Chain A
Amino acid sequence: QSVLTQPPSASGTPGQRVTISCSGSSSNIGSNYVYWYQQLPGTAPKLLIYRNNQRPSGVPDRFSGSKSGTSASLAISGLRSEDEADYYCTTWDDSLSGRVFGGGTKLTVL
């Protein structure tokens, strides 16, 4: 059971917009930055969003992040087949004095 809750799966057709949620509490998402990662099959995770809503250079602007209270979301617009991957949210938890991850969301492009 992960401290951060993500839906196990999400799907969409090419060109659609999908959102992936990440729910936590006041000790984690409520008081710290949220980061999002994309993990393609057989590869290491890659940073998609940092500090809630910032995109590293090289990440397409189709990817966006937001945070409100104790929840965060990753939105992917103009869905493409190469977006099919696992997506993870993470943040620091002040009560646990450690990092926590969501369980991951497997995105399928239909």
Chain B
Amino acid sequence: EVQLLESGGGLVQPGGSLRISCAASGFTFSSYAMSWVRQAPGKGLEWVSTISGSGGDTYNADSVKGRFTISRDNSKNTLYLQMNSLRAEDTAVYYCAKESDSSGWYGVDYWGQGTLVTVSS
């Protein structure tokens, strides 16, 4: 059974940094791309970042380019999102998502339960 368990969310001040993690199990982690998708309160889904199975290719939404970095440790079956220069508009539930292929170009087939990141003074 595929399981994705996010952690690391919380309250951070504007301009601050936070790293969230996603522990994966139930599938061969290195064979699949992984993504972060966020949802601001009362809003729709917004794609944030995708990383290929090998970690060699990363893709980022324009809204987070230069501020967020997606990475993975295939030896630990863990996905990360390093978030710097956080803004109030980054406040959202961040979902860890397993892609259905190694590139990330097809689509997500499993979602974690999400971790809430709140940016506020």
Contacts and interface: CB of A to CB of B under 8 A. Distances in A.
Contact of A47 (B61, B62, B108): B108
A46 B45 CA distance: 12
A98 interface: yes
A98 B107 contact: no
Contacts of B108: 35, 37, 47, 90
Interface string A10-47: 00000000000000000000001111010100001111
A: contact size bracket: 20 to 34
A49 to B, nearest CB: 9
A102 B59 CA distance: 19
A91 interface: yes
Nearest to A100: B47
A47 B109 contact: yes
A68 interface: no
B35 interface: yes
Given A44-B114, A98-B59, A50 B107 contact: yes
A50 B59 contact: no
Contact of A44 (B46, B95, B100, B109): B95
Interface in B71-121: 95, 100, 104-114
A45 B111 contact: yes
Q: Which of B35, B44, B109 has the most CB of A within 10 A?
A: B44
A34 B47 CA distance: 15
B47 A47 contact: no
A98 B106 CA distance: 11
B45 A97 contact: no
A38 B74 CA distance: 29
Interface in B32-83: 35, 37, 44-47, 50, 59-62
Given A32-B105, A97-B59, A99-B35, A44 B113 contact: yes
A90 B110 CA distance: 14
Contacts of A104: 44-45
Interface of A: 2, 32-35, 37, 39, 44-47, 50-51, 56, 86, 88, 90-92, 96-104
